[in-house]
C-alpha cells in the first residue's frame, strides 16, 4: 500500500472508513506522505497491530523523519520494521 499526502485527522478518518482495502497489507510505502500528526501515527499503530495478529511484520518504507520522531516519542517505534 502506498500512502500519500497528509496523514492528519481528517485524512485519517477517511482512510479508516476504507480500512478493509488496506488493513491486510503487510507493508506501507510512505514516500509520498507530506505530513502527519498523532492521528496518522495512531492509524499506523492500528495497522501494525493488525499485521502482528496475522504474524506478519509491519514493514514501512521511505519513512518520513516526523513519523520516526513521533513514533519514538509515543513509544510505538518498535511495532514497525523500517526499511530504507
Q: Residue 14 has what pLDDT?
A: 94
- Per residue of the chain (84 residues), give pLDDT as tens: 999 999 999 999 999 999 988 889 989 999 999 999 999 999 999 999 999 999 999 999 999 999 999 999 999 999 999 987
Closest CA to 74 of 47, 41, 50, 48: 41
Give, in degrees to the nearest 5, the angle at Cα 81 between 3 and 48: 60
Given phi > 0 = left and psi -120 to 50 = alpha, else beta, which region is 13? alpha
Cell of 28: 506501507
Query: Given this model, what pLDDT does residue 36 score?
Result: 94
- 47 and 26 in contact (C-beta within 8 Å)? no
* pLDDT number for residue 21: 87
Architecture of domain 2-12+25-82: 2-Layer Sandwich (3.30)
3-state secondary structure of 52: helix
Amino acid at each position: 500500500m502506498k500512502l500519500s499526502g497528509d496523514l492528519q485527522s481528517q485524512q485519517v478518518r477517511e482512510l479508516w472508513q476504507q480500512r478493509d482495502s488496506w488493513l491486510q497489507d503487510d507493508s506501507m510505502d510512505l514516500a509520498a506522505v507530506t505530513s502527519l500528526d498523532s492521528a496518522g501515527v495512531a492509524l499506523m499503530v492500528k495497522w501494525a497491530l493488525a499485521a502482528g495478529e496475522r504474524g506478519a511484520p509491519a514493514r514501512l518504507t521511505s519513512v518520513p523523519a516526523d513519523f520516526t520522531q513521533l513514533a519514538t516519542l509515543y513509544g510505538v517505534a518498535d511495532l514497525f520494521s523500517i526499511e530504507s
